[in-house]
Structure 1
Amino acid sequence: MTHKRLFTLLLIMLPAIFTACSSDDDDDLIGKWYRVSDFDGLARSDASSFTIGNKGYLVCGWTGKKCLSDLWAYDMETDSWTQKASFPGTARYLATAFNIGNKGYLGTGFDNESYYNDFWEYDSTNNTWEQKAPFPGSARRGAISFGLGGKGYIGSGFDGNYLKDFYSFNPLSNSWEQIISIGGSKRTGATCFVINDEAYVCCGQNNGDYVKDFWKFNPSSGTWSQLRDIADTSDDDYDDDYNIVRTNGVSFVIDGSAYISCGESGSLRSDTWKYNPQTDLWENVAKFKGTPRTATASFSSGERGFIVSGKSSTLQFDDIWELHPYEYDDEDY
């Protein structure tokens, strides 16, 4: 082969070599997912979860054939599961749960026939349940909730219609109060998280559309404020790559930043996004390593974040994964 022909061949091959060696869109994304000890109970989707200290609690859910009422605790330090006292109400899924101090709370939900508005308290110290004043809004499924400033909050969801109303629960008086509804879109299948004593709500679905608006709740003033959309809706550059909208995703908080993953938006999702509350901006980070899924649950101690259970088509899951947000996955290189 002449030097001229060899030089020409190399020029043709070089673009292919550089393409093969360049990273995929995900190769340089920070974060690494680790699979930890599988959930001991039945595989399920649409379960509810809350965190108390370094333990995450998973309760109720749907196996694909029946509703569940069992409660399990995951110890983040020992990577082990322990079954606890079962939820004494009607077995259900698509309920919502949160914690206040060392107590967990669960309400609303669906059992394939009826929507619910009953409300229950779990005492983690005594491993007991107690029924509390019922949620005053309509019986519903797919609501969201959070504990904040010694009170609990439940809102939005679906009762045959999409909803945006919100209510606060005072555990000291065992009483409810309706508060200002979340602004913007009604929604079901949304997700929420708490950072620095403020709650954030995003995602979900409304009348077949995936919700783009994003809101923050301040408990001191009792008001909602709108943040930047979670889709490319502005004329600026910051959101050009945003693809965050989804329903039935989950969120958790690590070191003052929030992470959203899984869910669905026409197809199942495994992409993960990190939110910085100081800048009100999102960053794409490492994809969830498990099978893409929806209707999963999450735990967060504030220092560690986990995703557990979920479904893909008719398959329910029992695996659990932890995100290490500051590592890179060597397998991607």
Structure 2
Amino acid sequence: MKNISLRAGRFLTLGLVLTGLGLGSCKKDDTTTVYGNWTQDASISAPRSESVSFVINNVAYVGTGRNPAALSTNNVYGDFYALDPSKTGSGWSSVTPMPAAAGVRYGAAAFAINNKGYVCGGYGYVGTSTNITYLSDVWEFDPATSTGSTVGSWRKVANSLPTPLSGAVAGSIGNVGFVGCGFDGTGNTNIFYQFDGTTWRTLTNTYPGQPRSGAMSFVVNNQLYVVGGTNNNVATTDVYAYSTTSGWALKHYLRNVSNSTESYDYSAVSRSLGVGFTVNDKGYIAVGGSTLTTCYEYNYADDTWTLKNPFNGSARNNAVAFGIGNYGYVGLGYTGATRLNDFYRFAPNDAQQ
């Protein structure tokens, strides 16, 4: 178990007043026990970064991406793998890859609705083309049907994204998927789209944050949270939550704030190219920022961030993450010029072993 003094949290005004009056507890240890147990899990066969993930019926699906940095069709992927944590020791298994017509891609966005997964846009090679391009096409994966001897089948969705997007964020609320922000081929954008399984529509409630790429997202309490990222190489430190009933709401900034009404320091949470995931009713942000291994837990009930034990693998950018049951999973990505294939399982409320 690790004891670390927390710096990302609120400073309670009442506590300061009581201390000033001599009513605070004497010689209280100012360290706080930090929880979260990271254990290495099964690895995927081919190292890669900028992949996508989605979860259907407690089975995770991971695919696409690239390795190494030098681009060619041989180094960009369209294959997919599945992990069923309920099958102890089963590891990752191959499922039907994206079809030849879909080409290969990285930097795509993905979500799951109606027991199907959707891979949207990205940057890659279409069909047999040798010219890499920004993509707007959308492909649907159905794990309930099979293609030959492999699990699952793909079909191209008739309606593409309204604009090409790479490095976007995505998530689903109920039976509606959302994709937004990212790079559209000319610059960063802050447009968001929603998809009901058939049709894409631009959100009528415009995302109020700056254009950005490299942001992170998770869904808790039926709200999609968009966290951090960069715009023109400058960190964006706002956090917005989207509700289908009330639109966008600004949450606490990822910076040091002190004024007449509140005081908190969440600057350590700020990053880009990290991962976001959900376990039960909490959101999590981890890795990213080139050298970060830190992990933070978000509580929507009081809009606070709490430090968890650090990620136990190598620091990395452009990893993937997902939550199943009581665990989160983080893996793949790159550190320096090295692409990675390892995964780690995260138990948020356990002590590090």
TM-score bracket for the superposition, by shorter chain length: 0.7 to 0.9
Matches within 5 A, 1:173-322: 174-179=198-203, 180-221=205-246, 223-235=247-259, 238-240=263-265, 242-264=267-289, 267-322=290-345
What residue in structure 1 maps to residue 347 of structure 2?
324
What residue in structure 2 maps to residue 140 of structure 1?
165
Q: TM (normalized to structure 2)?
A: 0.82
Q: Quick one: distance in 1 between partners of 2:214 and 2:310?
A: 21
In structure 2, the residue corresponding to 1:154 is in which secondary structure?
A: strand
What residue in structure 2 maps to residue 43 of structure 1?
47
In structure 2, the residue corresponding to 1:134 is in which secondary structure?
A: coil
What residue in structure 1 maps to residue 57 of structure 2?
53
What residue in structure 1 maps to residue 98 of structure 2?
87
Q: How many aligned positions are there?
A: 303
What is the CA distance between 1:24 and its match in structure 2? Answer: 5.4
Partner deviation per Cα, 1:306-325 (whole Å, 9 max, x = no partner): 00101001101111101111
Q: Quick one: distance in 1 between partners of 2:217 and 2:141?
A: 21
Rate the CA distance shift 1:123–1:201 in 2: closer, same or farther, 3 A. same
Q: Is the 8 A contact 2:81 2:92 kept in 1?
A: yes
What residue in structure 2 maps to residue 4 of structure 1?
none
What is the CA distance between 1:237 and its match in structure 2? Answer: 6.7
What residue in structure 2 maps to residue 163 of structure 1?
189
In structure 1, the residue corresponding to 2:245 is in which secondary structure?
A: coil
What residue in structure 1 maps to residue 120 of structure 2?
107
Paired letter, 1:74 = L
Higher strand share: 2
What is the CA distance between 1:84 and its match in structure 2? Answer: 0.5
Q: Is the 8 A contact 1:43 1:318 kept in 2?
A: yes
In structure 2, the residue corresponding to 1:109 is in which secondary structure?
A: strand
Rate the CA distance shift 1:254–1:190 in 2: closer, same or farther, 3 A. same
What is the CA distance between 1:29 and its match in structure 2? Answer: 1.7
Q: Quick one: distance in 1 between partners of 2:295 and 2:262?
A: 20
What residue in structure 1 maps to residue 82 of structure 2?
73
Q: Quick one: distance in 2 between partners of 1:197 and 1:249?
A: 22
Show structure 2 runs of 5+ residues with no match. Answer: 7-31, 126-131, 146-151
Q: TM (normalized to structure 1)?
A: 0.86
Q: Is the 8 A contact 2:279 2:325 kept in 1?
A: yes
Q: Quick one: distance in 2 between partners of 1:317 and 1:238?
A: 39
Q: Is the 8 A contact 2:176 2:195 kept in 1?
A: yes
Q: Quick one: distance in 2 between partners of 1:120 and 1:136?
A: 11
The Cα RMSD (Å) is: 1.9
Q: Quick one: distance in 2 between partners of 1:32 and 1:191?
A: 22
Paired letter, 2:112 = N
Q: Is the 8 A contact 2:327 2:348 kept in 1?
A: no
Q: Is the 8 A contact 1:253 1:303 kept in 2?
A: no
What is the CA distance between 1:291 and its match in structure 2? Answer: 0.5
Partner deviation per Cα, 1:207-255 (whole Å, 9 max, x = no partner): 111110110111134x111111122134377523531111111111112
Picking from 121, 130, 143, the partner of 1:124 is: 143
Rate the CA distance shift 1:130–1:247 in 2: closer, same or farther, 3 A. same
What is the CA distance between 1:121 and its match in structure 2? Answer: 0.6
Paired letter, 1:82 = S
Q: Is the 8 A contact 1:53 1:301 kept in 2?
A: no
Partner deviation per Cα, 1:55-88 (whole Å, 9 max, x = no partner): 1110100111411000100111224111001012
Greater Rg over alpha carbons, structure: 1
What is the CA distance between 1:203 and its match in structure 2? Answer: 1.3
Q: Quick one: distance in 1 between partners of 2:57 and 2:235?
A: 33
